[in-house]
Amino acid sequence: MTECPAIIAALPREVKHLVRGWQEHRLPGKIIAYTNNVGVVAVCAGMGAARAALAVRAALSLKPVTTLLSVGLAGACDPSLRVGDIVRAGVVIDADTGERFANGLCEQTLISTSAIASVREKQRLYDSYQASAVDMEAATVVRLAQAHEIPFRVIKAISDEASFEMQELGRFATSDGQFREAAFATHAALRPQSWPKLFALAGNSKRAVEALTKELESQLNWYRQKA
């Protein structure tokens, strides 16, 4: 069978460099998909479990998917991880249900939670599970991969270190998993004391996206050679 990996990310900015030149598809329900001429699909439907499920279903409807890749930016739980480090999780745990998924390919552990994790929560997850990182979508992606008997991989780039507080960003997330960038910009503009942290956040996100893009390009090269 020809390899057809599906890349599932929360937000388009996480894969914007990877999908340059790909065909863009605007699907109902604020779902954006990208396809290229070598049988790869990338889908972004928003943050959180429900939106990740929509993204997976969209990918499966567009292509005969052979592997699901949950990708994107994540917060570090392990204090040794730095911005731009890549986490390849072989164990994924759903913090809400306690479900544990493993593929045996990698050793790092990632926890999926229902909200952006605070510094205190990242510390708890590290202490409780020895978690490398935390996100909001991977557990749903791998649960659906197993339901459809499709292999999965989880590849995340660290955008905020264990000591970097991100919890306040949760107020700018919408009920359909989008990020209210205009509202966030207005909020930030009125609070000059927060600008240094925001500049750091922007720089960290850029570095993380660049690292993620490089890793995903390497992964896609592997699939092309395998085909």
pLDDT of residue 127: 97
pLDDT of amino acid 170:
60
User: Which residues have C-beta within 8 Å of that of residue 225, sequence separation ≥ 6?
Assistant: none
CATH number at residue 39: 3.40.50.1580
CA–CA separation, 205 vs 215, rounded Å?
A: 15
pLDDT at 227: 56
pLDDT at residue number 199:
73
Q: Is the pLDDT of residue 42 over 70?
A: yes
Which has more confidence, 37 or 29? Answer: 29
Range of the domain at 38: 5-226
Of all residues in the chain, the percent with pLDDT exceeding 70 is 86
Helices 49-62, 138-147: axis angle to 10 degrees equals: 40
Q: Quickly state the pLDDT bin for 129 (edges 50, 70, 90).
A: very high
Per-residue pLDDT, 158: 98
Region of 87 on the Ramachandran plot (φ > 0 left; ψ -120 to 50 alpha; else beta): beta
Q: Which tops the pLDDT comparison, 176 or 68?
A: 68
What local confidence, expressed as pLDDT, does residue 169 receive? Answer: 67
DSSP structure string for the chain: ----EEEEESSGGGTTTTTTTSEEEEETTTEEEEE-TTS-EEEE--SSHHHHHHHHHHHHHHS--SEEEEEEEEEE-STT--TT-EEEEEEEEETTT--EEE-SS--EEEEE-SSPPPHHHHHHHHHHH--SEEESSHHHHHHHHHHTT--EEEEEEEEE-TTS--GGGGGGB-TTS-B-HHHHHHHHHT-GGGHHHHHHHHHHHHHHHHHHHHHHHHHHHHHHHH-
Between 195 and 122, name the one with better pLDDT.
122
The mean per-residue pLDDT over the stretch 28-57 comes to 94
pLDDT digits (tens, 9 = 90+) for 134-176: 999 999 999 999 999 999 999 999 999 999 886 666 666 667 7
Tell me what pLDDT residue 223 has.
72
Q: What is the pTM of this model?
A: 0.90
The tally of domains found in the chain comes to 1
Flag whether pLDDT at 33 surpasses 90. Answer: yes
Reply yes or no on whether the pLDDT at 94 is more than 60: yes
**99 band by pLDDT with thresholds 50, 70 and 90:** very high
Confidence band (pLDDT; 50, 70, 90) for 37?
confident
